[in-house]
Structure 1
Amino acid sequence: MKLFKFLRMDRGFNFICSGLHEKSMQKFWQFKRTEELNKALVEFSQRHYGANEQ
């Protein structure tokens, strides 16, 4: 949920669709993969997991 809030609320990305995982019944969202989204994902990883950009 943290990633969704970061992408949707903080960065303003729109999702393509949402659904429920068959086994866990957890909600998920699908985003169109773009260079801008890739950069936001790297930023999120660095902030929340201390990951280095690759």
Structure 2
Amino acid sequence: MEQIDALQSRNEVINLRQVSSQELLKNQKELLIIHNGQLYHLRETRNGKLILTK
């Protein structure tokens, strides 16, 4: 049963829409996102990691 659940989860992830960070940031290091009326800040660190803060 666990194998079936794992396969279903993997298929759900494959079917999710994917967007590259380069497409989101468009050669910038920071992006502001409005979600449910709240402002979030997505930024890329010097090490190439992403940080999302409110």
The TM-score, its normalising length taken from structure 1, stands at 0.26
Larger strand share, 1 or 2: 2
User: Greater CA radius of gyration, 1 or 2?
Assistant: 2
TM superposition score normalised by structure 2: 0.26
